[in-house]
Structure formats: structure tokens, C-alpha cells
Amino acid sequence: MPGKVVGTLRFAHPTTVKSSSSPASFELREKSNATSPGNVKRPLTLIATALLIGSHAAALATTCQFEAQGEGRVAAITDARSLRLDDGREVRLAGIEPTATTKQALTALLVGRDVSLYGSDDTPDRYGRQPALVFIRDSAKSAQALLLAQGEAIVSAEIADKDCAAALMAAEAEARRQKKGNWADPLAIKNAESPDDILAGMGRFMVVEGRVLSVRQAGAMTYLNFGRNWTRGFAVTISRRILPAFEGAGIALKSLENRQIRVRGWVEGNTGPRIDVRLVGQVELLDTSAPAGVRP
């Protein structure tokens, strides 16, 4: 079931609109990225598709404005969400968490390709990797969006820009709807009513769905409880310091009682499993019949 966060893939960058030579390069890219040997499209169809994308690119690319952070050619994929350019720079694909097949898909997608990097901050992480949205040259979609659309990655919710986050969420939602890649596994989304299944994934990034039975505050922490046994049931923890972010998004935590939500994050805890929510984007409302902040 798709969540509340929806949107169109709109990553604005200077390579969005190209000359008349773009359709030919797009045709080659589409053929090389076919998901199966039998998925060969006719050149005329591909050219028409490319022209359509080119004609609408300027209109679509009006949001998610990130600064250019350089270009390069991908020399190698160093792990499931990191790459090395031919000039030695290390890059981490921002906004996604990998699945079992991400590295293989990323290798097929990017190795040997010229790419452009975009982001809000090019400060390297503690491993020396530059976080960025990675675009294959002349492409209007990021590598992250392409991976998500095939179910080869999971949205991490780390990107704060609303439009960018919505675009990535939309790509993942479509893959979930079509049960592509990771989402073909019926256990890819954990049931909040089965805490033992979630606890078995301790230390892993997971997506969990369920109904919030109660919202309780203890000191500086708010707990969204999904089970009646607070010590063993699944719960989401939210620190007081990020409450303003939820309020700014129009979500009163108390209003989440009896609401069906989807939450994503790293599983931790000793007795009962927990996900610590640090970003509003980690929580999606699934029953949107009542407005956020208004108890149904």
C-alpha cells in the first residue's frame, strides 16, 4: 500500500535538456539497461520516449535543486552504495540503503559510465566518501531513483529536501506496488505485530508496518507502541529534540494513536525491537482518511 509521500522524479541539473543527439544516446542506454534479454524495444519507440522526456524535462525539473559537485567516470563499485571515480574520489550514493542485490545492480548501471554529482553538502563522511545524488550523463533520473524503481534499494529517508525525498519515495512505492526486486519477498516489510521477526534483524535497516496502539512520553523520549506488552513489543522512539520537525510537517505525535503507519530505520533494542526515528521522512501515514494532526 503506498504511503502518504508521493511525487514525481524531479532532479534538476544542467544536463537535463540536451541537443538533438540525446535521443540516440538514450536509445542505447535503454537497451543496455533492459531487465531481461527479451525486453528489446523498437528504436522508434525509444526515440519517441526520449523526445518526450526531453520536451518535459525543463518543466519537471523545477524542484529538488541541488548544487553541482563535480563529474567523473566510474572506475569501480566499492560496496553496495559506494563507488570510486577514475580520479580517485570516493562517492556514497545518498538517500538509499542497499539490499542483497544492490551492488550487482549498481555495477551493471554505473561502471565505466560518465556521471555528474549533485548534493547539498560535499563534505566527506568519516570514511572519506562524498555523499551525492549520482546522475549518468544526459540522464534525467538519478542512479538512486533507477535502483529504487527496480526494487534494488530502499529509501533511507536521510535526504531532508521534501521534493527530493518525495521523488525517491515515489520510485520505491512504484517498485513495491509492482513487487519488483526486494519487494517480491512477502517478508520484505515486517509486521509490527510480530516483534520476534523484527528482533531477528537486529542491526539491520528494516521497513515495518503496523497500527500504533498507544503514544507515551517518558522523559525526553516519545514512544509509539505497537504492542500491548511495552517491554517486548515493537516500538518507535522519537526524541524531544526532533518534535519541532514533526510539528512543522503538521504531525502531532499523539494523533498517531490508532493510525496505520510505515516506519523505516535501524533495528535495535535488547528485549523488544526498537527503531529510533531521527527524521520525519522515516514515518509514513498509511491510513490517510484523517488529516495528520487530527485524531480519526
* pLDDT tens digit sequence for 49-61: 333 333 333 333 3
Q: Which H/E stretch holds residue 149?
A: helix 143-149
Contacts of 95 (CB under 8 A, 6+ apart): 133, 144, 155, 156, 158, 159, 164, 165, 168
**Percent of the chain residues topping a pLDDT of 70:** 75
* CB burial of residue 167 (10 Å; 0-12, 13-18, 19+): buried
Grid coordinates representing 114 are: 560518465
- Tell me what pLDDT residue 7 has: 36
* pLDDT tens digit sequence for 168-182: 999 999 999 999 999
**Which pLDDT band, with edges at 50, 70 and 90, does 289 fall under?**
low
Half-sphere exposure of 187 (CA within 13 A, CB side): 5
Contact call for residues 287 and 296 (beta carbons, < 8 A): yes
* pLDDT tens digit sequence for 91-136: 999 999 999 999 999 999 999 999 999 998 888 999 999 999 999 9
pTM of the model as a whole: 0.76
* pLDDT tens digit sequence for 239-287: 999 999 999 989 999 999 999 999 999 999 877 899 999 999 999 999 8
Question: Is residue 223 pLDDT above 90, yes or no?
Answer: yes
